[in-house]
Amino acid sequence: MSHDAEPSPRRAARAEAERLATAALAQIPAPSPTRRTLRETAATPSSSPGRSSRLATALSMSGLAPVTRRRRLAALAGVALVAVVCASAIATASSGARHDTAASATVADNSVVAPVSGPPAVPDEGLPVPQQAAVAASATPCDDPAFTSALASGDDAAAISAAGGGNAFRAAVASGVAPCVSLSDPHREWVVVNKQRPYDPVDYRPDDLVMPDGVRALEQSAVRAPAATALSAMVRAASDAGAGEIGYLSAFRSYTTQQSTYAGRVAVGGVEAADRESARAGYSEHQSGLAVDIVPCDGSCATLDDVAASSQGAWVRDHAWEYGFITRYVEGRESVSGYEPEAWHLRYIGPELARAYHEGAYTTLEEFFGLPAAPTY
């Protein structure tokens, strides 16, 4: 708190007059002599103050002869009077013309010099506030009927399209402006399952499991219908490209099957080792029906560990995204994904999201959707 008393009205008025006079002097262009500066110079023949700084001149007046000083004070008073009159005129004009005030504010915001007179650039009903509201509303797809109806119908591809494509959908979800999208819904192609995100219900089982056409299934394991169609197309394309045959071992695994799978790993290497390469029941991507463990085949099929160095593995790394698949667990990302690299484990997220994943050079689904890392349970 200040200890100074409130300034009296007279002191305030004097201070304001001094401020206006100083400001008016400072406004005078220094290099080119105006009529006012020529008159001032003529009034002070015994001294020749430099014209480079009017403010400096005013401040140094205390050292001038009494007559000169009086003339200069009179000149200053005149400047102050002009400034006060101008200020009053501006204030009157502002209070009497709201359109002009609004127009001036708009001009100032845009740093554009515009004539004071003339009609306002924007009509009353079109000023910036409603425009900004419209921009904010379009930022969330959850307010868009086309998006919410596609979502409600269960058509993931249509919903992503309505959101503006894979990257727009991803950005909306990752930034938190799309609360109507659940990354926990196991029916969705964008579901994220990891050591921090079990299924709900924990024994979820998809209802559209099918066997993919034209793909060698070594364990007769089924895949969700959209992923099965994409897998068939991808395997055909790899073969057509000369990369060799791609078969697969395990795709959908039920909650109870996963219990056995995980228990088997624990029996061999203990819990710590098992958790780095196998999910506990209720936490496996295989339970979604959207994950496939591929193997390279050439006559007979090799093992999961042979994928990374195979021609099929190389082709998949470059092209799987074109069919909606990502390599879910890659080298060096165990601290985020929770698993050692698995070149064989492909996860279907749909072609639009896989394209965004590929083009954004993402390496984990967690980072893709802005989720926390999930290294442990």
Chain contacts with Zn ion (rule: CB under 5 A): 293, 345
Please state the closest distance from residue 300 (CB atom) to Zn ion, in A: 21
* Helical (H) or strand (E) element with 345: strand 342-348
Please state the closest distance from residue 130 (CB atom) to Zn ion, in A: 51
How far is 29 from 363, CA to CA, in rounded Å?
Answer: 62
Q: Are 49 and 65 in contact (CB under 8 A)?
A: no
Output the residue with the shortest Cβ distance to Zn ion. 345
Please state the closest distance from residue 240 (CB atom) to Zn ion, in A: 25
For the chain, where are the alpha helices, taking DSSP H only?
9-27, 35-43, 54-59, 66-96, 98-110, 128-138, 145-152, 156-162, 166-174, 225-240, 255-277, 311-319, 334-337, 351-359, 365-368
Please state the closest distance from residue 175 (CB atom) to Zn ion, in A: 30
Phi and psi torsions of 148, nearest 5°? -65, -30
Q: How many CA atoms are closer than 13 Å to the CA of 304, on its beta-carbon side?
A: 13
Q: Which is nearer to Zn ion, 57 or 287 (CB)?
A: 287
Please state the closest distance from residue 285 (CB atom) to Zn ion, in A: 7
Please state the closest distance from residue 351 (CB atom) to Zn ion, in A: 21
Return the SS3 of 217.
strand
Phi and psi torsions of 248, nearest 5°? -150, 155
Please state the closest distance from residue 228 (CB atom) to Zn ion, in A: 16
* Residue 146, number of CB atoms within 10 A of its CB: 13
How far is 283 from 192, CA to CA, in rounded Å?
Answer: 10
In terms of C-beta distances under 8 Å and separation of at least 24 residues, what long-range contacts does 34-41 make, across chains too? 36/75, 39/75, 40/72, 40/75
How far is 57 from 51, CA to CA, in rounded Å?
Answer: 8
